[in-house]
Structures are given as C-alpha cells and as structure tokens.
Chain A
Amino acid sequence: MTRPKRLVATVAHRAAILCYVVFALFPLFWLLKVSVTPNDLLYSEGVRLWPSRTVFDHFDFVLRHSDFPLFFRNSMIVSLSTAFIVTILASLGGYAMSRFTFRGKFWIVGLMLLTQMFPLVMLIAPIFKILSPLGLTNSLSGLILVYVAFNVPFATFLMQSFFDGIPKDLEEAAMIDGATRFMAFRQIILPLTLPGMAATLGFVFTAAWSELLFALMLISGVDASTFPVGLLSFVSKFSVDFGQMMAAGVLALIPACLFFFFIQRYLVQGLTAGAVKG
C-alpha cells in the first residue's frame, strides 16, 4: 500500500475502535452522570452530557440510610466464595479431564455440556423445589451452591484447555525426579496454570456478582439479598429513584474493577496462553 492509503486505513481502523469504545462505555458514563446529578436537575435540564451542578447526596444516602452495605457484603460473600470454590473444583476436574482417560469420561463430558444447553429460567422452579425443603432458600449458602453448580461445567472446560496447553512432559519429568503425581500437579503444573486460574476466578466472580435471576427467585428477605436484588428495591410502585440506584450501581462496579485490576496481569497471559506454542 502507498503511504497516504496506509494512513487512511490506520485512521479508519482507529476510528472504528473509538466508535466501539464509546458505544460500550457510554452506559457506564451515563451511570456516573446520573449518580452525581441532583434530583431537581434530573428531569429539568433535558439531555445534557454533564449536569450544571454535581452532588454526592445519592452516595451518602445509599451508604448511610439504605440496606445497600448489607447487600454489598452479601454479594461479596457469595461472589468470592463461588469464585474460589468453582476455581478449585474446576482446576481439579479440568486436570483430570486433560490428563487421564477413565471410564465414563465421554458421558461425564456430555452431561456437563448438556447442563449448559438449557436457559436457566426453565430450571428455577425445580431448583426452588429442591432447595426449599433443605432450608437453602433465603440463604447465602443456597445461592453459593446454585452458582457453583452452574459455573463448574464451563469453568472446568476452561481449565481443561489451560492444562492442555501445558506439556505432559513437565509432570512426567517431575515424577521421574521423585515427585508423586499430586506433588507434580501442585509444584509444577499449578504455578504454570495461575494465569488460567486467574481468568477462571475473574469470569466466575463477575458472573456471580451480577447474577440477578436466581438471587431474585431464591432470596426473599432483605438479610440475604445480594446487590443486584437490592438495586431493584430502588424501584417502587410509583417511582424509580434513579439517582440512588445509579449511585449504588457505581459502588457495585468498584469491587469488580478492583478484582480485574488485581488479576489482569494473569488474565492477559491466560487468555492468550495456548494460542501460541510456548
């Protein structure tokens, strides 16, 4: 390509990326904007990119006068527990699927795929029916159990692909060097799969953090509500407290952002691992 042509192509390329980024981030921007807009300006100023006056009243209200801190704590407990339990289970399961042949493997993989095929809405009633006599409705542990169950299959496949990317030779070398298979797994394979585990942890955490459907159906009391359910409490029969709702939303973004900030170093490696032979 000639120089001006290449320039045009570059500009077009960057412009397309810019369009996408603006499109993807605009709702977040709007969230932030509404959260700092005083109630009296919300409808009176028309559509403006930034209000003429900003206040933090909504944040103050959400943090001090609503149940939001409780929802937030519940969400933290549920999401972190789910993420860690799923990652541990998926690592062990993914390793087995990657390295061993065992009876029934084909059917187990098939069943795990099957669980991913149905819309979750269909399963809510039966799950409620199962959990209710066990006393697991309206409890965080019940929610964790359900989230773990629904995230393990996908996470296992994800972890399996990371283990597949690590040559078998490495653990064989370790076993010849004098390690048991489990020691080889722990000392050689796990450290190399950290990026994959971080990626899994991140995916599951966000999935659990923003899950609404089950949380809404299985939890009825305020004590065990997670924050997506809590957000709905800002919608009353007669009005929607947009300002407070958005403030709560902004606060809810923080842990997810922090979480990804901490794991992003591994995540980038993790998502590209296996793409090229190391």
Chain B
Amino acid sequence: MKLPIYMDSHATTPCDPRVVEAMLPTFTQHFGNAASRNHSYGWEAEALVEKGREQIAALVNCSPKEIVFTSGATESDNLAIKGIAHMFADKGRHIITSVIEHKAVLDSCKRLEKEGFRVTWLPVGKDGLVKTSDVENAIEDDTILVTIMLANNEIGTLNPVGEIGHLCKAKGIFFHCDAVQGLAYEPVDVQEMGIDLLSISAHKMYGPKGIGALYVRRRNPRVRLDPIIDGGGHERGMRSGTLNVPGIVGLGKAAEIVLAERESDAARLRALRDHLRQRLTTELTDVTVNGSLEHRLPNNLNVSFAYVEGESMLMGIKDVAVSSGSACTSASLEPSYVLKALGVHDELAHSSIRFGLHRFTTREEVDYVADLMVRTVRRLREMSPLKEMADEGIDLKKVEWSKH
C-alpha cells in the first residue's frame, strides 16, 4: 500500500492510465492545430477533436455539435451563466440558483447581481438538497435561467435535477446544471432530464486538468450564448482559442471509460464508502454524517466528529489526503459555507472531514484510514475540553463562551 493515501477525489482525481496513453501521441506526433485546414497535421488534429466530442456526447446523450470545449468547469459555469444573462437580458433579468453551488456559479451570479440582474438564492434543508417546489415558487415573470448543481462537491448530495429540468422546460426557462462532481458516478441524459446547459470537467472524472466542456442545446430550444472570450471564432463562436487537442483526447477517453464502467465503479465505491461509514460510526461515538445518505454520490462521505477540530485531525492522519470544512484549513478562515447552509453548527463544521473515494481506492486503504481516524479522534478527544464538559453533563450550547 502506497502512502499517503489519496481520498480527496472531489478536489481532483488521478488520471486513468488509459487516458494518459490515449493522450501521449498528441504531444509529439499528432500535434497539429485543429484549425489548420491546409495540411494533414491539422486534419488529424481535427479528427481527434471530433472523436473527443463524440465520446462526450455519448456520455450525456447529446449531439457532438452541442459540445463546446473550455478550459474547465469554472469557465463552463461562467460561460453558461453570463452567456445566457447577457444574451437574453432583454427577455428577463432574474436568475435562480442555490446557496450550495460551487463558487464558480455563486460568484458568476454575484457579478450579474452587480450588473443589475436579480438573483434568488435558494436555501437547502438539513439533507442538503434543493427542493423542486422551492424552484417553482421562486420563478418570476422575467426568470431567464435556473442553475442548480447535480452533485455537491463537499457533501456529495444529489439534487432532483431531472425534476427541475422538466419544470424549467414547462415554464420556458433555460436550465443550466453543473454536473462536474456527478458525471463519473451518476447517469446523465440531457434529453430526459431537460437540461439546456451542462458543465463538464475532465479532472474530476479521471481525465487531465485544464480541459472541460459545456453542453449547449441546439434545438428545443436553440440556446445562444454571448461569448466571454473573443478571438478566432472557434467552437461556433462561443469560445475562441486554439483547441487543447491533448486535453480533448483525454477528456474524450475519460468519458468513454466512464460510460463503460460507471455502473460497476459506482457499486464498488458505494460498498467501500458504506464500509468506511460503518466502521467510523460503530467504533466512535458522536459521529454525524452531513447531508442525505440516500441521495448522495457513492464515493462521498462527509462526517463531523464532535469535540475535535478538523485541522488537528488532519495533522493526526497525515498519511491520508482528505479535506476538512474547518476554517483553519481554508484561506478565508471561515468554516464551510455548504455545511453552514445545512444548518450544521459552526462547531460541527469545524469538526468535519470530507472523504472522497475514487476508482483506484482499495479496501485495504479504507481500513487503514478507518483505523487511523478512530485512533486520532480518540486521542484528540482525550485532550478536548468540550468532550470533558459534555461528559460532565454540561450543555455546551448554554455555556457563555468568550467569542473572539
């Protein structure tokens, strides 16, 4: 077993070796510019790009013509949201999103707010799910866009995207879905789910970094976007810039593998994740899973270990790469906004750890992590004044703390 053990797959996933192998010839042999029309280097590159487009289209059930390549999901989210808002500002100036979206969505919406658009920020329940009825109630006469993520990047909860898509279809409102975290594990069909725009990232599905895609519907209805990058008019004018052929080949291959292996991957990861959860919750007391277990990615586990602080846990499990919702581990010194949105007390947000299992996680690794986690939490609880007070029967919520 190789240390440190990687369990931070919501941050990024390792490249599948088959993806790397597919990409290699594009660096030295097939290195042409896909926009070069006058020689075989260009034609070869273009053929590789078109193959990649087909592979991604097959994964989400759309036409290859509806795929726009970008530098990653942050760009895809920006292009979808700002592109719709700027193209259809005459039609309406209201957008609906949720408070637990990725920052690329939240900050794009915030910028539009500054430009005079109105944004409704939907709350989520304790289960971390957006309610379709909340979306419906938020719709106004001039709503032009609803943007809701498929799976949350911290707690892995799965939103009722199909329901929301159908609602938007019925109301004639564009629906954008950031599907980055879910695509490798959950089936996505843009036709069946009524999705007009879908953000895709390669490096969250065992592909390379620096490449992503945006699905943009071409009929029923045809979606037009105001571009955010101008230049040579690549990608039907929606995203100028020389195409990243190695990245596209990698993304395409990653999509092909996901389509073939998603089901078995998901089942295996679900069993491993449940094993990890079982061990942590039976061997330790006061452990809570954040967000719905039922509507959740099979590879995600986000847990709070009461009375111990996240960063001190990470120090204790330094052979394991995971993330914490604790403020101490973030640049902003604020605990996770996602956990706060769930109504998780700040104190438990500070005590949270996010485990992200991936295609190459083994049972041996899961057991190693569980052993280490249990030992570390026990040790830190021995030195926790909160644990001591709780054991003495003191209600921690009634203590007058000196807030600082």
Are the chains A and B members of one assembly? no
